[in-house]
Amino acid sequence: MKKNPGARLELELTVGEVATRSGVAVSTLHFYETKGLIQSRRNRGNQRRYPRVVLRRVAVIKVAQKTGIPLADIAEALSVLPHDRPLTAKDWQRLSETWKRQLDARIASLTALRDHLTGCIGCGCLSMEDCPLRNPLDMLGEKGAGPILLETDEEVNVS
């Protein structure tokens, strides 16, 4: 690809250019801006202009969202970083370490949920009173799952 020596690198991008380059819809960029994730300025024609560094910021937001990090957590993490410079490797390391801990906790929670589901598949009840998934603080749920817990010893012996 030939470089055009006369072309200058634009320091600011239109919302359409950011959308095209980042793969994010214009409406999403506007939403990110209302949530404080990214910033723009308005030109004399009242059109949004974004600094080029917004592209990396949008990329970080997309990666974090893809891993399931809530947008509020992303906004909180990015709020301490300046909007006028690209995120550095050190910034990313700090963000990713925090998010990694959150992901590890979510993975542990989902693993426990998956393991309980296996028992519920065998039981099939999912009752409000006895199921450890639907009613985790139920004392009977700790003894085991299933409708058999609702039967008394007398009812079991009668049949």
Q: What CATH number is associated with residue 37?
A: 1.10.1660.10
pLDDT surpasses 90 at 145: no
Q: Is residue 157 part of a domain?
A: yes
Q: Is 130 exposed, middle or buried (0-12, 13-18, 19+ CB in 10 A)?
A: buried
- What's the rounded Cα separation, in Å, for the pair 53 and 86? 5
pLDDT of 85: 86
Report the predicted TM-score, pTM, of the whole model to 2 decimal places: 0.65
Other CB atoms closer than 10 Å to residue 73's CB: what's the count?
A: 14
CB distance 145 to 132 below 8 Å: yes
Q: What are phi and psi of 9, to 5 degrees?
A: -80, 120
CB distance 130 to 138 below 8 Å: yes
pLDDT tens string 28-50:
999 999 999 999 999 999 999 99
Are 98 and 114 contained in the same domain? yes
How many domains does one find in the chain? 2
